[in-house]
Structure 1
Amino acid sequence: MVEIEPIEIQGKTFIAISVKLPKTNLLAVSNENGYIMCGALDVDLLNNRLRDRHIIAGRAVGVRTIDELLDAPLESVTIAAEKRGIKKGMKGKEALLRM
């Protein structure tokens, strides 16, 4: 099952996507500039092989719901995200507000 819904954080609208897969969930929250995602996100791939795309993204691990993703500290972030002031350890919702 796929769920897509708008969510609001401090007056800004983001799109939350949840994909129910066997034994796991794929979670992401995005806006027009970037996104945060569950542990399925490969930050090394984005930083190395796709570096020229300047993708603004962060990864949180061990999350099972969108709410957990928003409250979890980011385990890793892309180089482009760092340039926006997004740092490892920052909560997901705080990172989104900097995108």
Structure 2
Amino acid sequence: MELQYDRPGHASGTVNGVLIEGFCLPVPSSNMIFITTPGGFVGCGFFDMRTFAKLGIHAVRITGVSTLEELLAGKISEVTESAEKSGIRIGMTGYDALLRFCP
């Protein structure tokens, strides 16, 4: 899977034929990085998994990343219960999560 950048901070691509969108938004001293799919959310350390869990959203968090490519390659450090039920585990990569979010 390859991300195609159409403007700074925004990329899109497909996983198993499903459209994904990635965002890299500059914030003071860092970047807020995330990828959305119809089936779930992959985000950096800025995101609180409790909020996603309350809303029943499949979501994972990957810390220590500063680009979308690092988010895809990074290891999952936290996962919502609903995402875990779909087979996603701590230690998998962001790309592994996308494969399960985009069946």
* Structure 1 and Structure 2 fold alike (TM over 0.5): yes
Q: Which residue of 1 aligns with 2:26?
A: 20
Q: Deviations over 1:19-67 (max 9, x none)?
A: 01111100001111111000011113433xx1xx211000000000000
- The one-letter amino acid of 2:26's match is K
- The one-letter amino acid of 1:59's match is R
Matches within 5 A, 1:82-97: 82-97=84-99
Q: Are residues 1:68 and 2:74 paired?
A: no
Q: CA RMSD in A?
A: 1.6
In 2, the alpha carbon distance for the partners of 1:79 and 1:27 equals 21
Q: Which residue of 2 aligns with 1:58?
A: 60
TM-score normalised over the length of structure 1? 0.85
Structure 1 SS opposite 2:20: strand
Point out where structure 2 has 5 or more consecutive residues left out of the alignment.
1-7
Deviation at 1:7, TM superposition (A): 2.3
Q: Which residue of 2 aligns with 1:32?
A: 38
Q: Is this contact kept in 2: 1:9–1:93, CA < 8 A? A: no
- The one-letter amino acid of 1:91's match is T
Point out where structure 1 has 5 or more consecutive residues left out of the alignment.
none
TM-score normalised over the length of structure 2? 0.82
Q: Is this contact kept in 2: 1:30–1:96, CA < 8 A? A: no
In 2, the alpha carbon distance for the partners of 1:8 and 1:67 equals 14
Q: Is this contact kept in 2: 1:29–1:37, CA < 8 A? A: yes
